[in-house]
Amino acid sequence: MRSTKLAIVIACSTLLSSISCGGARTVKYLERPIPLNSGVAVIVDAPNKLKNIILARFLARGFAVKAINASDFYSINDVFDIRDFKKVSYIGQNENFLSLEKAYNNLFKMHFYNYEVNKAEVLAEMRNRWNVQYLILLDVKSFGGGWGRAIDLRTNDIVWIENSGVSLTADTEKLIDRFIDSMTGKR
């Protein structure tokens, strides 16, 4: 009876895992290894306790971890509230609508381009003022596997990506070590 329940649980988690990974296969690509003594900013969306464990692993492995938090990166919705423009575009006469709609769409696109420019400026400042050489983004999940990505801030190139099939287990350190081994070229 117990083994049947276990089999159902395993089947369900496999199904959930495959659904959540649809189109996002387990992949790994390392353009160039990240040296262990590099200055890194690790951005991870996780509770503080878990975040500390993750950062501790990076420190333990020899990285110079800079104090950057995910919340230091604002979201586009915080900065650009362009919905107001749509509201005022309706103030005009009816025949204005089509032409202003095009201007509104273009304005919307420009905000996305501008947002990317602003982020690039922030990253350049991180590199120049705080000597952050690599930006590391991690997403660790309880099921469905996590993913990681590293950016070389000298060139703004993506240098490492991994979609890991390994989910967040009781042994968080092991999972983070897997990611570190992967980005440093040890795995």
> Under the rule (CB under 8 A), what is the footprint of other proteins?
21-25, 27-29, 31, 43-45, 70, 73, 75-77, 85, 88-89, 91-93, 95-96, 98-100, 102-110, 112-114, 116-117, 119-121, 123-124, 135, 137, 139, 145, 147, 149, 151, 155-158, 161-163
* Per-residue tokens: 64: 């110079």
**Alpha helix (H) residue ranges in the chain:** 2-20, 48-60, 76-79, 83-89, 97-130, 172-183
Least Å from the CB of residue 140 to other proteins: 11
How distant, in Å, are the alpha carbons of 14, 41, 184 from that of 34? 32, 13, 5
Minimum CB–partner distance for residue 113 and other proteins (Å):
5
Nearer to other proteins, 9 or 27 (CB): 27
End-to-end CA distance of the chain: 40
Minimum Å distance from CB 178 to other proteins?
15
| Contacts with 125 (C-beta within 8 Å, 6 or more apart), sequence order | none
**Closest approach of other proteins to the CB of residue 76, in Å:** 5
- Check if the beta carbon of residue 100 is closer than 8 Å to that of residue 89: yes
Name the residue nearer to other proteins (CB basis): 6 or 74.
Answer: 74
Question: Would you say 73 or 178 has its CB closer to other proteins?
Answer: 73
